[in-house]
Structure 1
Amino acid sequence: MTTATIAKPWYREFWPWFLMAGPFLAMVGCFITIYFAFTQFSNQPIQEEGLVKRGLVIEQQGAGAARQAAVQSKP
């Protein structure tokens, strides 16, 4: 006489929840990053090597203005 084991439903097992936890945590992190990007840093321009990028307009700053200020400040 052998007794058959009754299989538990998938949602009562450990492994499906463990395997779904990684992608779920990645989605939570993505939503948090998007939230911070839109609420905290949306009004700051992107600055790279003396250039300020605002939309499609790129304004040069730094090199020329810095030289003029240095020349004017010399006695």
Structure 2
Amino acid sequence: MEKPWYKQFWPWFLMLIPFSVVIAMIITLTIASGYGDNPMVVDDYYKKGRGINAQVEKVQAAQALNIEFTFKQSENAFTLTYNSGAPEQFSALKVSFYHTTLAEKDFTVTLTADAQGVYRGSLPDNEEGKWTITITPFDDSWRVTQQVQLPAYRELAIKPLTYGV
């Protein structure tokens, strides 16, 4: 006497393949719906390209002024001081920290200089990893950008990057 179909191995094995595809599809849809649109896709690439050219001009302005900073971190605080290119009157600086992979960790602080010309700011707790620091003055006339690894255990020189200019 032969076993009924539901007690045999092969029907269950053959049904397992489509069921595993359905489960993989559900997992894929769950992951895709959780992350939404990709922020790397640009709708207006021409406008974005013009913005990049404007940023290059600001870097060139920083190079012409020979602007260089020293970045020093101490636990959750950091200081910025001019090494060269310091203006006669210190204006406020906008310092933006961009995380390499996680856009939700990005933050910006506005700093003013103390009597010795030192800019002081604070970092969020446990911000480790590779960051891009961008420094611009209050009037946005120049721009200095550098990638750093936080926490920074030594003083770092932050100066305008040359884009083959």
TM bucket normalised to smaller: 0.5 to 0.7
- In the alignment, does 2:8 pair up with 1:23? no
Which residue number corresponds to residue 63 of structure 1? 49
In angstroms, what is the RMSD of aligned CA positions? 1.8
**In structure 1, distance between residues paired with 2:5 and 2:39:** 48
User: Which structure has the greater CA radius of gyration?
Assistant: 1
Deviations 1:45-75 (A, max 9, x none): 4534xx2xxxxxx333542111111112212
Q: Identify, as 1 or 2, the structure richer in strand.
A: 2
Which residue number corresponds to residue 41 of structure 1? 35
TM-score relative to the length of structure 1: 0.66
Q: Pick 1 or 2: higher relative contact order, CA cutoff 8 A, min separation 6.
A: 2
Q: Identify, as 1 or 2, the structure richer in helix.
A: 1
1:20 Cα deviation after fit:
0.8
Q: What are structure 1's unaligned runs of at least 5 residues?
A: 1-5, 52-57
Which portions of structure 1, spanning 4 or more consecutive aligned residues, are displaced by more than 4 angstroms?
none
Q: Of the candidates 3, 11, 14, which is equivalent to residue 9 of structure 2?
A: 14
Give 2:25's aligned amino acid: C
Q: What are structure 2's unaligned runs of at least 5 residues?
A: 65-165
**In structure 1, distance between residues paired with 2:25 and 2:3:** 33
**In structure 1, distance between residues paired with 2:38 and 2:48:** 15
Name the count of aligned residue pairs: 60
Deviations 1:31-58 (A, max 9, x none): 01111111x212x44534xx2xxxxxx3
TM-score relative to the length of structure 2: 0.33
**In structure 1, distance between residues paired with 2:38 and 2:3:** 55
Which residue number corresponds to residue 119 of structure 2? none
